[in-house]
Amino acid sequence: MKLLLIPAAVLALSASAVTAADDPIAVRQALMQANAGAAGLSGAMLKGELDYNPAVAKAAIATFNAVASSYGHYFPEGSEGNGETTASPKIWEDMAGFQEAVGKFETDAAGAVEASGKDGPADLDTFKAAVGPVLGNCKSCHESFRVQDN
Amino acid sequence: MLRTLAAALGIIMILGGATLWLLTAPRSLDAAVLAEAPDGDAARGERVFWTAGCTSCHARPRAEGEAVLELAGGLELKTAFGTFVAPNISQHERDGIGGWSFADFANSMLRGVSPGGSHLYPAFPYASYARMDLSDVADLYAFMRTLPAVEGRPGGHSLDFPYNIRRGIGVWKLLNLHPEPVVALADDAPEAVRRGRYLVEGPGHCGECHTPRNRLGGSILAQWLAGAVAAEGDGIVPNITGGEGGIADWSHNDIAYYLESGFTPDFDSVGGAMVAVQKNTARLPAEDLAAIAAYLKAAPPHPNGYPARRPATQ
């Protein structure tokens, strides 16, 4: 079941290309779904629910990297969402702070790509070291910039 | 005749007023109870400290690393009653609680009474802490004595009338300060569920945010842990019972893993005010996280205690 997350993440990424121009909310939601897919996959391997596989680990890291390098572009003025999304108004009140948080995510994801090499991280511990800092961004960004929901 | 009636009414009102005055007086712990308190152990107290989450409100806002042990205060809680400002509870003699005796500390934790003998606002969650064992309070006191003294006092609360009248808290206490457990357990309930009840209802004070409140700011126990509109009005605090909208589909391990890692079973992450809480729960021993999970799975299910959600998710 968790294996289904890989195509789901990839599909979510390709879907984002289609609607990019006219609907930033749809794009950023698709990007975040891709993130969730990659996080689910990473988590399943970290928890031992899924056997570790370097190629799968590399795909997850690549997904984080693609999301990180594009996510910050989809929060223009006027896309606040009228309270119908969980994007917090604080994003627009503190755009510099938000972009800084996205920038940190980008740096950490790029570092993980670097660490994963041509064939992906060789073993689970290497993967854990590479992806851990990337996953840390979920909390820190959701602490400030998402309307509280869990 | 009329004059007699008026006099009688006057006497009744004075008596009623006097009774209310007495009933709403701050009540400290008996000296006899305090005398039975064991000596605190700082090492055990550290575990109580992370369970009780002192640092989530009393560290400087956004403190990281070792700075979470500097309890300088300053966090603002903007609520429907006004703005509460977390005070300095570091060991500073003048600005913090460095000058407090154990009796002072225990009275604040278990009775919501300050060393000067006045009511503390229940933004400090003593309605939950009142369920703590005196020995845990003693351990916590011993641990907090080891923390740094930090100079400086944040500003005071800024509350709307009538909430700015401290004596009114006495009425709130009559209605809401009940140290007995919320969830009744069978005599043969597993030890983990019992331990979890203590952690969740007492030091962990989960119900303070996860249970909806009535207009007077009292927890609605009939909807215990059913989720609530966030006190600060930004979003919701989720239902953590097994009822509709809650966590019936989370396993024991899912709950424990969330408290340890900050990730839900779907690998969504913890957010908002819970981030600071989860940083504390990440420091708890596995058996305590398992106990919390066991209790949450055993507690009565309720449907969501907050209005229907908005449709989108991101």
The arithmetic mean of pLDDT across residues B3-16, rounded, is: 83
- Tens of pLDDT, residues A71-125: 999 999 999 988 788 999 999 999 999 999 999 999 999 999 999 999 999 999 9
What are A's interface residues with B at a Cβ cutoff of 8 A?
25, 28-29, 32-33, 36, 39-40, 42-43, 47, 81, 83-88, 135, 138-140, 142-143, 146-150
Instruction: Give the start-to-end residue ranges of the domains of chain B.
Output: 28-180, 209-314
For residue B85, the surrounding DSSP H or E stretch is strand B82-85
Q: Which stretches within B177-239 are classed as H helix?
A: 191-201, 207-210
pLDDT reading at B66 higher than 80? yes
Mean of the pLDDT values across residues B257-283? Answer: 93
Rounded to the nearest angstrom, the minimum Cα separation between A29 and chain B is 6
pLDDT band at B14 (very low <50, low <70, confident <90, very high): confident
Nearest residue to B96 via CA among B123, B77, B70, B119 = B70
What is the C-alpha to C-alpha distance for residues A50 and A2, in angstroms, rounded to an integer? 8
β-pair partners for B83:
B78, B158
Q: How far is A119 from chain B (nearest CA, A)?
A: 25
In the structure, what pLDDT confidence band is assigned to residue B311 with cuts at 50, 70 and 90?
A: very low
Q: What is the pLDDT of residues B23-57, one digit of tens each?
A: 899 999 999 999 989 999 999 999 999 999 999 99
Beta strand pairing status for B228-229 and B158-159? unpaired
Q: Token pair 């990839």 is at which residue?
A: A10
Identify the weakest region by mean pLDDT among A39-43, A79-83, B151-155, B257-261.
Answer: A79-83
pLDDT of residue B310: 52
Q: What is the DSSP letter of B167?
A: T
Say yes or no to pLDDT of B232 above 90.
no
- CB–CB of B301/B248 below 8 Å? yes
Name the residue among A29, A43, A146 with its Cβ closest to that of B267: A43
How far, CA to CA in Å, does B307 sit from each of A71, A84, B242, B244, B299? Answer: 31, 14, 17, 13, 22
B275 has a chain A CB within 8 A of its CB: yes
What whole-number distance in Å separates Cα of residue B61 and Cα of residue B43? 26
Over residues B292-313, the mean pLDDT reads 84
The ipTM assigned to this model is: 0.79
User: pTM of whole model > 0.80?
Assistant: yes
d(CA B57, CA B41): 24
Instruction: Report the mean per-residue pLDDT for chain B.
Output: 93
Q: Is the Cβ of B266 closer than 8 Å to some Cβ of chain A?
A: yes
Residue A9 has pLDDT above 70, yes or no: no
Q: What's the Cα-to-Cα distance from A122 to each of A7, A57, A125, A131, rounded to whole Å? A: 22, 9, 8, 13
Pull the structure tokens for residue B93: 């003699």
Helix (H) / strand (E) containing B79: strand B76-79
Can you tell me the distance from the alpha carbon of B271 to that of B245, in angstroms, rounded to the nearest whole number? 18
Per CB-CB distance under 8 Å, the chain B contacts of A47 are 257
Tokens representing A106?
């980008």
Mean of pLDDT over chain A:
88
